[in-house]
Structure 1
């Protein structure tokens, strides 16, 4: 059955000309019906084409398609793959981070690509102009729906799909690797029997022989890696000698490089012949390798050995994939991302590492889903009759993996683990207003369906009581309020926790800090960094022995006695990031921790803005900008200028230009003298002009006042730049007299009470802060003598 025959207008959207047997059987259900579809099929059997068929039907009907990719690293790959749709005049848009989002492009896109987490965030804000595009989706394709059973991420996918179905009722097409309980997923998604497909192993293009190999665990984890590597090479060697290919999965990006380097030496010792060492027929592999950007990779591929991970440039990843497909690379080391994304089968697949280090979770087991996904890459259609997949593990874990390979993995719901958080989110959005609404919501979840299948395991008979306990917990912790007739409503704390995707214990900590500030406690940058470093989001971060000295050096002189080792590590990374000097010993985890921390600081800023005032929020915004850009405290305001990052901010600050006002005072000539090119200087100067610029006019403010007299004078705050939201605070001798929040377009008149107190003199200070900009507050003072 040819693609051009079935879908003539979309023939060029597919990477092949003919549908295979599995695709032919699913085709009528996808193209001739509007029912929801669930299809499970072995890895490498061609499931991606089912997604593309569903998308083609939606596009031909004039609709919008959403594709949910399991990993962020795969979203951009889909954008590249689907240039084929772009060539047919359909737009593909990947929805990434909050600040990168272009709502106009998202609104006009024909195909949207998102991760479950990004879709969760977007659907929570669906009633905003920025995210309203999520309510206009006609088909939602879930790639790898067995992600439902993943730690942390599974419940996100589950509640998000349930929410999306309530918002716009799209057709849902869920695809997955083989799973024993596909009927439960179909029941959850209301997919009828005729569009529920369970393609068994007979649809796998190459038979799979999978097993477990053990090694003897030693005292040293570093040495253990090499024990497992030699075990993996023992398994791969016979296949390499027969011109087969081997794919070895390891736990981290660094390990792919180290393992490839060690493997090259070992293969040379064992005198294993590798194809790439001689001319590769008419394929000019050796010339192409000069275009590689990674020097280590360039040396390695010459010997037929390579590595692949998401940190490589796209150029280098593309070359590795191309050469592996052509056979120029025979032994490839990769992280698990490759198993979920690129279709690179090998005759032999070895999982060297069944545990991996997560910067936020410490050492964790590879999920069963990842293990099965990786093993599924064994066997090259068209080249091999059988694929070989092996798990290398400690003897104590062998039975666990043998059972997984024998019985597969039933998909379970993980919602019970985070029920309180997701329930709070639904209440904050207003979709749940009382207990009955909670039950109605639960009935839309996979948790409810799975609970009916396994009532004892899910404690299903006590579900209603569990929900009551959950609601009472939310009320007790200040996230929810109860009203008349058992109604429930989110508090500001609950709304902010949902909006900023926080763990509830973190939101409670942030709210308590706001309360202390409201009660008059001073707020310092260190308070903000410590509140974030101790957040629940980082509770599994561990500090290795090799990192302890570096952590102590960064935190020297700071009182951190109450903090645990992992919290001290996070705090050290944040302090290092703020000063632009993260110690090399901490850099492997610093990127992930810093990225999560900036999100949390931004959330804390929103809490402070809502519950403690604009000045506190401005401090958080400045701390966030410093952690993000690594600039000095006095130069952080420069990062408010579009196009000024850490490098330019530091360069300008070194030349004495440390504020946007100083940029405008310097003018184009001064900026060029400070080392900027004329074009950059022009953009920076214009960027500074697009910020608020303040002047304070004290008017007829008195120089003295008699003891016991009172007077009220007016001070004018004038914004001669761009309008912005501002907080104006008046203090006398350091004690706050008044505080107002306003949208400062032009001028704001501030009444100031001048009184003859029992003091020799009074210092009145006007302070203006912008909660949404990292600008240092403008402060001016006048002293009044009491006579």
Structure 2
């Protein structure tokens, strides 16, 4: 059955000319029906084509398709693969982070590509103009739906699909590797029997011989890696000697490189005939195309490594050369198993445990193990593929059972029920207890609970829900109305926790920091922001290796961190060093992930402070966030608000004593050129500085003296001569004027100041605030007007007036 016969207008959208047996059997359900479809099939059997068939039908009907990719690293690869649709004038758009989102493009896209986490975040904000495109989906394809059973990520996928179905009821196409309970997934998605498919191992293009091999575990984990590597090479050697390729999965990017280096030496020692050093043309091509020296030297010996840290061009070349047979032994992380169709005669899983920067050392997911082994066997080249799991003898039986019986897919919703329930309440989709039960009935959790009532404690489900609601009420996320209506409503804390995708413990910690500000226990400082983030629940599994401890202690020397655990101190050290623009090499491996998550959390903390504590506290959080993102000094952080001013230019300008956007405007283009910028850069930087708010303070007829016991109400005018922006205006009086900050310090005010006036406004033009001048016992008083912008990393603008008391 040729593609051109079935879908002539979409023939160029497929990477092949004929459908295989599995695709032919599923084709009528996908093209001739509007029912939901669930298809379980072995890895490498051609499931992607089922997704593309469903997408073609939606596009032909004038609809919009959504493809949910299991990993963020795979969304861009899918965008590249689907250039074929672009050539047919259908647009493909990958929805990424909040700041990179282009709502206009998303709204106009024919095919959207998202991860479960991004879709969860977007559907929580579906009623905003920015994310309204998620309610206009006609078909939703879930790739690798067995991720329902993944720790933490599984519950996200589950509740998001249930929510999407309530929002716009798209047709759902769920694709999965082989799993025993595919009928449960079909029941959850309301897929009828005639559109539910269980394609068994007989549909594998190449038979799989999978097994478990053990090694002797030692005292040294570093030495154990090499024991497992030699075991992997023992398994690969017979295939390599017959020109069969081997794919070895290891736990980290760094391990792919180190294993490839060691393997080259071992292959030479064993005299395994490999490599293409005699191929002058390939030698020249690899020398010219690869920037990575280690990779360039390895590929000539037929060995390579593949991970997300390589450039896209380098990854593409490694994949191409592996397919062409130039590379015979490839070391990779698990991402390759999920995304790229790169089979090998032999697959070895060297590492069954992985280090996660946020979780510490964890067992590799059974889903990952099965996915990797599924890459064994090259269609069209091999009659059989060989897959091996290398593990400690104590774990061998666990993996043998997994290979023999497969893995039933379970719901993980119970593990994070409170978080997801809070999100539904915050969106207003649940307003009473009965609606909670209605919501649960739309979940995979409910279906599995019916199949295994004791395992899921199903008889006590209603009580479990009541307990969950009571806990949300006790922790301040939800309010329940009077006994007459028992209505359920989210508090501001609950709404913010949902909007910013926070774990509830973290949201409670952020709210407590806001309470500290409101209770007058002291104004917050950057240290408070950093500590609140370092102790967030999202980082609860971060661990500090022994080799990192000295670097952590050096960064935190002189800081009081006695209450923090080792992992929390590590996060704090990474954030401090990032803010100063220099992360020690000992911490570099985890720093990127921790910084990325920390900036998201600081942004969320800023929203909490803005809503619950005021604009000045929010502005402080925004400045801390900008420092971590850019690595600039506190006095220059405001420069990062200017377009085209990054860390380098901010530091260069600050060295010339140009530290604020106001300084940039005062210097003019000539002054910026004199400070070291080229004229082509100076002009847009100058214009960028002009596009920010700029404040002048007019004290009017403010008295210089006042008699003891007298009082006078004055008016101070705040004038924004720049672009309009949200602002917080605060007036304080300090009975110890010597402690007051200078007008350019950017401090949040002395701890002993008394707040007279505080207001939040959209500052366009002028704003007048009343200030009471009261004769007190002190000889003199100092009044400070402070203006802060919660959405910009600008230092607060401050000005003072001193009044003598006579």
What corresponds to 2:671 in structure 1?
670
Q: In structure 1, what is the equivalent of residue 435 of structure 2?
A: 437
* Paired position in structure 2 for 1:407: 405
Q: Distance between the aligned counterparts of 1:672 and 1:202, measured in 2?
A: 71
- Tell me which residue corresponds to 1:129: 129
Query: Which residue of 321, 340, 343 corresponds with 1:323?
Result: 321
* SS of match in other structure, 2:620: helix
Pick one of 743, 751, 754 that aligns with 2:773.
754
1:689 equivalent in structure 2: 690
Give 1:279 shift. Answer: 3.1
Distance 1:361 1:415 in 2: 19
Write the deviation string for residues 659-697 of structure 1: whole angstroms up to 9, x where unpaired. 111111111122222222222222211111111011111
Superposed displacement of residue 708, structure 1? 1.3
CA distance in 1, matches of 2:28, 2:597: 44
Q: What residue is the counterpart of 2:202 in the other structure?
A: 202
Note the alpha carbon deviations across 1:373-430, whole angstroms, 9 max, x for none.
Answer: 0000000000000000000000000000000000000000000000000000000000
CA deviations over 1:319-361 (Å, ceiling 9, x no partner): 0000000111000000000000000000000000000100100
| Cross-structure match for 1:492 | 492
Moved more, 513-522 or 412-421: 513-522
Q: Equivalents in 1 of 2:631, 2:406: separation in Å?
A: 48
- Paired with 2:284 and 2:400, the residues of 1 have a C-alpha distance of 42
Q: What SS is found at the alignment partner of 1:328?
A: coil
Deviation at 1:600, TM superposition (A): 0.8
SS of the counterpart of 1:722? strand
Write out per-residue CA displacement over residues 708-764 of structure 1, whole angstroms, 9 at most, x where no aligned residue. Answer: 111111111000111000000000112111100000011001111111111101101
8 Å CA contact 2:275–2:300 kept in 1: the answer is: no
Q: Distance between the aligned counterparts of 1:188 and 1:355, measured in 2?
A: 32
User: Deviation at 1:288?
Assistant: 4.5
What is the CA–CA distance in structure 2 between the aligned matches of 1:678 and 1:392, rounded to whole Å?
61
CA contact (8 A) 2:276 2:282 kept: no
The aligned counterpart of 2:745 is none
Contact 1:40–1:199 (8 Å) recurs in 2? yes
For the 8 Å contact 2:757–2:769, the answer to whether it is kept is no
Equivalent residues in 2 for 1:337-356 (5 A)? 337-356=335-354
1:251–1:355: 8 Å Cα contact kept in structure 2?
yes
Deviation at 1:290, TM superposition (A): 1.9
Counterpart for residue 796 of structure 2: 777
1:23-57: per-residue Cα shift (whole Å, max 9, x none)?
Answer: 01111000000100000100000000000001000
C-alpha distance in 1 between matches for 2:420 and 2:185: 20
Q: Counterpart in 1 of 2:650?
A: 649
1:287 Cα deviation after fit = 2.2
Kindly indicate whether residue 755 of structure 2 is the aligned counterpart of residue 736 of structure 1.
yes
Alpha-carbon shift at residue 643 of structure 1 (Å): 2.0
Contact 1:731/1:765 (8 A) holds in 2: yes
Q: What's the secondary structure of 2:276's corresponding residue?
A: helix
Output aligned runs, 1:538-577, within 5 Å.
Answer: 538-577=539-578
Aligned-partner Cα distance in 2 for 1:403–1:278: 45
Secondary structure of residue in 2 paired with 1:541: coil
Give distance in 1, aligned partners of 2:550 and 2:191. Answer: 57
Q: How does 1:462-477 map to 2 (within 5 A)?
A: 462-477=460-475
How far did 1:649 drift? 1.0
The whole-number CA distance in structure 2 between the counterparts of 1:289 and 1:389 is 33
Question: What's 1:479 paired with?
Answer: 477
What stretches of structure 1 of length at least 5 have no aligned partner? none
Q: Which moved more, 1:63-72 or 1:665-674?
A: 665-674
Matched, 1:256 2:275: no
Q: Give me the whole-angstrom Cα distance separating, in 2, the residues matched to 1:375 and 1:670.
A: 63
2:265 is equivalent to residue 265 of structure 1? yes
Matching residue of 1:20: 20
Structure 2 residue 728 is matched with structure 1 residue 727: yes
Separation (CA, whole Å) in 2 of partners of 1:609 and 1:479: 17
SS in 1 for 2:802: strand
Matches within 5 A, 1:702-713: 702-713=703-714
Q: Which residue of 2 aligns with 1:290?
A: 288
Distance 1:294 1:36 in 2: 46
- Per-residue deviation, 1:284: 4.6
Alignment correspondent of 1:117: 117
Task: Supply the distance in 2 between the matched residues of 1:437 and 1:669 (Cα, whole angstroms).
Answer: 65
| Cα deviation digits, residues 536-585 of structure 1 (max 9, x gap) | 11111111111111111000000011111111111111111111111111
Q: Find the counterpart in structure 2 of residue 176 from structure 1.
A: 176
The number of residue pairs the alignment matches comes to: 785
Instruction: Please state whether the residue corresponding to 1:481 is helix, strand or coil.
Output: strand
Mapped pair 1:381 → 2:379: yes
Partner in structure 2 of residue 616 of structure 1: 617
Task: Give, in angstroms, the shift of residue 275 of structure 1.
Answer: 4.6
Match of 2:85 in 1: 85
Kept in 2, the 8 Å contact 1:86–1:92? The answer is: yes
Judge conservation of contact 2:275–2:303 (CA < 8 Å) in 1: no
Task: Give the whole-Å Cα distance in 2 for the aligned partners of 1:602 and 1:638.
Answer: 18
Deviation, 1:196, is 0.5
- What is the alpha-carbon distance in structure 1 between the residues aligned to residue 513 and residue 729 of structure 2? 21
Please name the residue that 2:702 is paired with.
701
Deviation, 1:59, is 0.4
Matched position secondary structure for 2:247: strand
SS at match of 1:384: coil
- Corresponding residue number in structure 1 for 2:512: 512
Do 1:13 and 1:82's aligned partners in 2 also have CA atoms closer than 8 Å?
Answer: yes
**1:123-148 deviation per Cα after TM superposition (whole angstroms, max 9, x unaligned):** 00000000000000000000000000
Answer whether contact 2:95 2:113 (CA < 8 A) is retained.
yes
Match of 1:333 in 2: 331
Task: Tell me the distance in 2 between the aligned counterparts of 1:670 and 1:419.
Answer: 58
SS at match of 1:197: strand
Structure 1 stretch displaced more, 284-293 or 99-108: 284-293
User: Does the residue aligned with 2:97 lie in a helix, a strand or coil?
Assistant: coil
Looking at structure 1, the residues matched to 352 and 221 of structure 2 have their Cα atoms a distance apart, in angstroms, of: 13
Alpha-carbon distance in structure 2 between the residues aligned to 1:672 and 1:450: 67
**CA deviation map 1:428-456 (0-9, x unaligned):** 00000000000000000000000000001
Structure 1 residues 758-779: Cα deviation after superposition (integer angstroms, max 9, x where no partner): 1101101100000110000000
- 1:317 CA displacement: 0.4
The 1:429/1:277 distance shift into structure 2, 3 A limit, reads same
Of the structure 1 ranges 662-671 and 461-470, higher mean CA displacement relative to structure 2 is found in 662-671
Aligned to 1:241: 241
| Secondary structure of 1:364 counterpart | strand
TM-score of the superposed pair, with normalisation by structure 1: 0.99
3-state SS of paired residue (1:96): coil
Kept after mapping to 2: 8 A contact 1:293/1:313: no
Per-residue deviation, residues 604-652 of structure 1 (Å, max 9, x unmatched) = 1111111111000000110111111111000000111122211111111
Report the more deviating stretch, 158-167 or 639-648.
639-648
Taking the aligned partners of 2:673 and 2:264, their CA distance within structure 1 comes to 51
Could you tell me whether the CA contact under 8 Å between 2:286 and 2:296 is conserved in 1?
A: no
Deviations 1:207-245 (A, max 9, x none): 000000000000100000000000000000000000000
Provide the rounded CA distance (Å) in 2 between the counterparts of 1:196 and 1:208: 24
Corresponding residue number in structure 1 for 2:747: none
Which segment is superposed worse, 676-685 or 545-554? 676-685
Q: Are the equivalent residues in 1 in contact too, given 2:275–2:299 (CA < 8 A)?
A: no
Instruction: Give the C-alpha shift of residue 285 in structure 1.
Output: 6.3
Provide the C-alpha distance between the structure 1 equivalents of 2:701 and 2:309, rounded to a whole number of angstroms. 62
Aligned 8 A contact 1:349 1:390 in 2: yes
Structure-1 separation of matches of 2:335 and 2:609? 38
Partners of 2:720 and 2:239 lie apart in 1 by 73
Secondary structure, aligned partner of 1:420: helix
For the 8 Å contact 1:243–1:275, the answer to whether it is kept is no
- Give the whole-Å Cα distance in 1 for the aligned partners of 2:529 and 2:251: 33
Q: Aligned partners of 2:159, 2:11: CA distance in 1, in Å?
A: 35
